[in-house]
Chains A and B, each alone.
Chain A
Amino acid sequence: MALDKPYKDIPGTIIFDAEQSRKGYWLNQFCMSLMKAPNRDRFKANQRAYLDEWAMTEEQKQAVLDMDLNRAMQLGGNIYFLAKIGATHGRSFQQMAGSMTGLSEDAYRAMMVGGGRSIEGNRHLGEDGDAQPQQQPQGQAAPSKKA
């Protein structure tokens, strides 16, 4: 029997389950290595060379080089692991989370100060909330839709 994954119909969300964890094993273990300052220095000095020391796929390496966290998540990354890359680059968790939404840093921060993203329309795929695939990327799709 296949594992029950009721969370698959939540928009804009990847749950880090065993399948994702298997895909992302080396990507995430690379991230763990950045908890040591000498490794952070080596990574920053030559990201490509450092990444080539790990058994990661080329796509995973590219996602790290591009700091494309959505892509890294799709390829098995977990946000708490990926956060070590952000920390290495001096990025806050808010900057990292915001970078996945298509909103500018200021717009994301303003959304949070205003009470955060609304749950309305964002519970199930197929609704019309701002995190739905048809609204992506946010901050670009939204104004043109209104226009």
Chain B
Amino acid sequence: MAKITASVYTSHVPAIGAAMDLGKTQEDYWKPVFAGYDFSKKWMKDNKPDVIFLVYNDHATAFSLDMIPTFAIGTAAEFTPADEGFGPRPVPKVIGHPDLASHIAQSVIQQDFDLTIVNKMDVDHGLTVPLSLMCGEQDPVKGSWPCPVIPFAVNVVQYPVPSGQRCFNLGKAIRKAIESYDQDLNVQIWGTGGMSHQLQGARAGLINREWDNAWLDKMIADPAAAAAVPHIDYVREAGSEGIELVMWLIARGAMSDVPYNAADATALIAARDHSTRVRHRFYHVPASNTAVGHLILENQ
């Protein structure tokens, strides 16, 4: 049986990718950002998963205004890093896991979440920057990512975007799907984006350190309460692009201390047998326009 062993959360700022691609990581500006991931790179080596289920948002790359899927699962054999206007990032192509992805799509859709199945899609910085941060620089041709990755794109670009509650519940369904896969696989689920940032208008540059950290505390200790935070709070308190944080709740909802169904006694007891251990927590301002947040949670 496949199981989720850990969840990883991180911002996915494009400038972080550019800093790595241009060899700027040791500059004074960037040093403290990357220092926050030193532990994480080592942890990744020591805890290499078989598959990463990577929740991110597409930034008007694979999805223009032609089609705007709320939740899209990548079922392809591979995904090419996208040209976002500067040329593609010089990183390895992303190898998918079509069989597990199709299994998850079937299970999650039958649990009443209407996913869009995507067989062809380029992946942008939302997906590749977290991989770079956790796995370090990789040669685009000779290098490779440590394992297959299932891209899972969430619309947080055009309103209406899904609620935190919807994302949290979807995470529970994804865990159920993974746990019903026959093969023994160690799966990590990553939630990316955020934390506070606003990229537009006179309020651009907004950062709310207190709110970010209070939200992290809540997401770790009382995720159901974090899931209940309404959209408007993210936008008002953490900036228009801070709404990306709802994606973290998908990963959090998939951890085993969260009951599938809070009204079901068996599920509640099963969840009580588990706890979540914080292996790493990091917060830094700024990376370009953004507050960088990062967490590693392990299932116990």
- Does B23 sit within 8 A of A, measured CB to CB? no
Chain B residues, CB < 8 A from A79:
199-200, 241
Please tell me if the beta carbons of B207 and A100 are within 8 angstroms of each other in the complex: no
Please report the C-alpha to C-alpha distance between residue A76 and residue B199 in the assembled complex, in whole angstroms. Answer: 15
Chain B interface main SS type: loop
Please tell me if the beta carbons of B64 and A97 are within 8 angstroms of each other in the complex: no
Chain A residues, CB < 8 A from B14:
93
Chain B residues within 8 Å of A, Cβ to Cβ: 14-15, 18, 29, 59-61, 64-66, 82-87, 157-160, 196, 198-209, 211, 232, 235-237, 240-241, 285-286, 288-289, 291
Chain B residues, CB < 8 A from A62:
none
Please tell me if the beta carbons of B211 and A119 are within 8 angstroms of each other in the complex: yes
Chain B residues, CB < 8 A from A88:
85
Please tell me if the beta carbons of A119 and B85 are within 8 angstroms of each other in the complex: no
Please report the C-alpha to C-alpha distance between residue A25 and residue B60 in the assembled complex, in whole angstroms. Answer: 12
Chain A residues, CB < 8 A from B235:
7, 10, 13, 15
Please tell me if the beta carbons of B201 and A35 are within 8 angstroms of each other in the complex: no
Please report the C-alpha to C-alpha distance between residue A88 and residue B85 in the assembled complex, in whole angstroms. Answer: 6
Q: Count chain B CB atoms within 10 A of each CB in A11, A31, A79 and give the residue with the most.
A: A79
Please report the C-alpha to C-alpha distance between residue A96 and residue B235 in the assembled complex, in whole angstroms. Answer: 20
A–B complex contacts, Cβ < 8 Å, 8 sampled: A10-B240, A14-B200, A14-B201, A93-B288, A100-B202, A115-B207, A119-B206, A136-B202
Please tell me if the beta carbons of B237 and A119 are within 8 angstroms of each other in the complex: yes
Contact with B along A95-133 (1 / 0, CB 8 A): 011101110000010011101110100111000001111
- Given known contacts A35-B61, A93-B15, is B289 in contact with A131 (CB within 8 Å)? no
Please report the C-alpha to C-alpha distance between residue A62 and residue B72 in the assembled complex, in whole angstroms. Answer: 35
- Does A57 sit within 8 A of B, measured CB to CB? no
Please tell me if the beta carbons of A112 and B201 are within 8 angstroms of each other in the complex: no
Please tell me if the beta carbons of B206 and A116 are within 8 angstroms of each other in the complex: yes
Chain B residues, CB < 8 A from A17:
158-160
The smallest C-beta distance from A129 to any residue of chain B, in angstroms, reads: 8
- The tally of residues in A whose CB lies under 8 Å from a CB in B reads 62
Q: Which chain A residue lies CB-closest to B209?
A: A115
Please report the C-alpha to C-alpha distance between residue A84 and residue B18 in the assembled complex, in whole angstroms. Answer: 15
Chain A residues within 8 Å of B, Cβ to Cβ: 6-7, 10-18, 21, 25, 28-29, 31-32, 34-37, 40, 69-70, 73, 78-81, 83-84, 86-88, 92-94, 96-98, 100-102, 108, 111-113, 115-117, 119, 122-124, 130-133, 135-138
Chain A residues, CB < 8 A from B236:
7, 10, 123-124
Q: Which chain B residue lies CB-closest to A14?
A: B201
Chain B residues, CB < 8 A from A119:
206-208, 211, 237
Chain A residues, CB < 8 A from B241:
79
Chain A residues, CB < 8 A from B285:
112, 115-116
Please tell me if the beta carbons of B204 and A35 are within 8 angstroms of each other in the complex: no
Q: Count chain A CB atoms within 10 A of each CB in B82, B157, B198, B232 and give the residue with the most.
A: B198
Chain B residues, CB < 8 A from A21:
65, 158
Please report the C-alpha to C-alpha distance between residue A122 and residue B198 in the assembled complex, in whole angstroms. Answer: 12
Partner of B232, one of A7, A98, A137: A7
Chain A residues, CB < 8 A from B240:
10, 13-15
- Given known contacts A94-B15, A116-B286, A136-B202, is B159 in contact with A34 (CB within 8 Å)? no
The smallest C-beta distance from A37 to any residue of chain B, in angstroms, reads: 7
Please tell me if the beta carbons of A112 and B289 are within 8 angstroms of each other in the complex: yes
Please report the C-alpha to C-alpha distance between residue A3 and residue B237 in the assembled complex, in whole angstroms. Answer: 22
Please tell me if the beta carbons of B204 and A98 are within 8 angstroms of each other in the complex: yes
The smallest C-beta distance from B51 to any residue of chain A, in angstroms, reads: 28
Q: Which chain B residue lies CB-closest to A31?
A: B60
Please tell me if the beta carbons of B206 and A78 are within 8 angstroms of each other in the complex: no
Please tell me if the beta carbons of A117 and B201 are within 8 angstroms of each other in the complex: no
The smallest C-beta distance from A15 to any residue of chain B, in angstroms, reads: 6
Please report the C-alpha to C-alpha distance between residue A6 and residue B237 in the assembled complex, in whole angstroms. Answer: 13
Please report the C-alpha to C-alpha distance between residue A40 and residue B240 in the assembled complex, in whole angstroms. Answer: 28
The smallest C-beta distance from B195 to any residue of chain A, in angstroms, reads: 11
Please tell me if the beta carbons of A80 and B237 are within 8 angstroms of each other in the complex: no
Please tell me if the beta carbons of B289 and A13 are within 8 angstroms of each other in the complex: no
Chain B residues, CB < 8 A from A87:
84-86
